[in-house]
Structure 1
Amino acid sequence: MRSALLALALIAGGADAADASYGEHGMALFGGKEGLYASHLPMFHAPHDYQVILQVHLADPATDAALRRRLDGKTALWTIAPEKFELSRLAPASAAPLRQFKADLVLGHFEQGGKTQFAAANVVVDKVLMYRQLSPAQKASADASYVQIGGGKQRYLVKRIDSRPDYDHIVSYAAAGGASTATVTLNKQALQPPDAQALATALHVPTGAIHGTVYFYTDDLK
């Protein structure tokens, strides 16, 4: 569906359509009181061939506080259905950085029956935590590397997409005080996510500190 929308935009022409990264860039939304984050749902083709993670907040303070209370480290899936924009504007060296965008905030997957909870919210981009283009080449990796998002007790692990096929995976966990924020690497088991015990061992935390999966998807990364 996203490809069809891009094709219509290209036919229509205009400045926006000239950028190959222009499109509707759905994102997984997660976080809570300590931080609010958005992870672009990537594919191996334009305009979605980038892994991007943002730290964000909502422009309206009351809506921002309400959203953080509802998320608050939980593993229920929320997604962002934004207005169209050029993903390239989130690149560190962009000449026209994207500072904010309007989006529906959806409980569930916005393309798979999710229900809008906050419509047309103004999402402010505080920081780009990751911006990297994905290679379309077939590649196998023996390891699964996870970057840590958040520096306090409530943290998230986001898998670095480095193979094809691969999987998109976000995990919520509780860190010990003063814990390292270094990347965590585990042995990869094909397209199966690591279990809670393997993650806990790699992080040096009790298994109960692994709250669970926020997002896991393979279909778009074949």
Structure 2
Amino acid sequence: MKQLTTIFLSLLLILTSSYATAQTQQLEQTKQTKPTEATLHHKQRQGLHGMLLFSNGAELFASHLPMFHAPHDMQVIFSLTVQDKQLQHSLISQLAQQNTIWSIEPEAFDLSNLGSAQQLSISQFTANIYQGHFERGGVKRYTQQITVNRLIVKQVLSKSLPSQRHYQKITPDNQPIQYYALRIEGRPGIDHIIKVESEPTANNQRNLADDFSFPFAPQAPSDHAIAEKLAIKPEKVNTLYLETGDLK
């Protein structure tokens, strides 16, 4: 009888040990397969994010072409450098002199991580560069690795209608060409990039207002109204890009 009891206890110990080992293995497997917070964030705005490309005569800039639905529901504007230095100088000069659209078609990435301080931050990507709109008949001219130099605007689009249409200067002072972008707020929205040729003052400065606003209206203000707001000649203001259809 004592021998049977010993055998029974040994079998029970083996079964208990095997069960504990199986539970531990299952827990480790769950940890490996369960999406982490970083993984979930990485998939938040994964997609192909087309952008407007423009120049102030000293740098290149890009502005994401947003929509109100994910993964494109962010307004992002940044300065950039292309890998080919000769092409960099050529684009800076050419785009500053033109009032026509250039755009870039990047490889797919998570827009939330562009220029962020997080572990999955994206500071470089490969993109096709188009003369014209990359989805509306533009012609592909180059393929380049692009480096993000500094973020200027990065915000999730808000569908709540504001009381004002707020414009922000997105390029540095003391340049012959400066740009303003409408902060995209309220649905339907407006993506509006303004190009301004600034004239030097008596002390040879080219400083313009950092921002300005208009009372909210369904349509964008005219170039003439913006010139009046900035107290400059109307011919010095040109709309580079105006989009409403993608922001309904």
Shorter-chain TM-score bucket reads: 0.7 to 0.9
Taking a change above 3 Å as real, the CA distance of residues 31 and 195 of structure 1, as seen in their structure-2 partners, is same
Higher relative contact order (CA 8 A, sep 6+): 1
More displaced 10-residue stretch of structure 1: 99-108 or 181-190 = 181-190
Letter in 2 for 1:214: L
Q: List per-residue Cα deviations over 1:154-210 (Å, max 9, x = no partner).
A: 1111110011111101111112434244111123431x2211221011112111211
Aligned residue runs from structure 1 range 60-209, under 5 A: 60-90=84-114, 92-118=116-142, 120-135=143-158, 137=159, 139-151=160-172, 152-176=175-199, 177-190=205-218, 192-209=219-236
SS of the aligned residue for 1:72 comes to helix
Change in 2 beyond 3 A, CA 1:53/1:133: same
Instruction: Describe how 1:35-54 pairs up with structure 2 within 5 A.
Output: 35-54=59-78
Residues 88 and 94 of structure 1 are in contact (CA less than 8 Å); yes or no, is this contact kept in structure 2? no
Percent identity, aligned pairs only, is 33
Q: Is the 8 A contact 1:158 1:169 kept in 2?
A: yes
> What does the per-residue CA deviation read over 1:97-118, in whole Å, with 9 as the maximum and x for residues that have no partner?
2121111111111111111111
2:42–2:110 Cα contact (<8 Å) kept:
no
Q: In structure 2, what residue type is equivalent to 1:130?
A: V
Higher share of residues assigned helix:
2
Tell me the distance in 2 between the aligned counterparts of 1:131 and 1:183.
Answer: 16
Q: 1:75, 1:97 → 2: CA distance? A: 33
Q: What is the CA deviation profile of residues 9-59 of structure 1, one whole-angstrom value per residue up to 9, with x for unaligned ones?
A: xxxxxx699512111010011114222100001111111111000100111
Contact preservation (8 Å) 1:186, 1:202 = no
Greater radius of gyration (CA):
2
Distance 1:18 1:98, change over 3 A: closer
Residues 112 and 173 from structure 1, CA distance in 2 versus in 1: closer, same or farther, beyond 3 angstroms? same
Q: Which amino acid aligns with 1:43?
A: M
> For residues 40 and 145 of structure 2, what CA distance do their matches in structure 1 show?
20
TM-score, structure 1 as length reference = 0.85
Provide the aligned length of Structure 1 versus Structure 2. Answer: 203
Match of 1:219 in 2: 245
SS of match in other structure, 1:64: helix
What letter matches 1:195 in structure 2?
Answer: S
Letter of the 1:179 partner, please give it.
N
Query: Are 1:40 and 1:51, in contact at CA under 8 Å, matched by a contact in 2?
Result: yes
Where does residue 17 of structure 2 map in the other structure? Answer: none
Unaligned runs of 5+ residues in structure 1 are 1-14
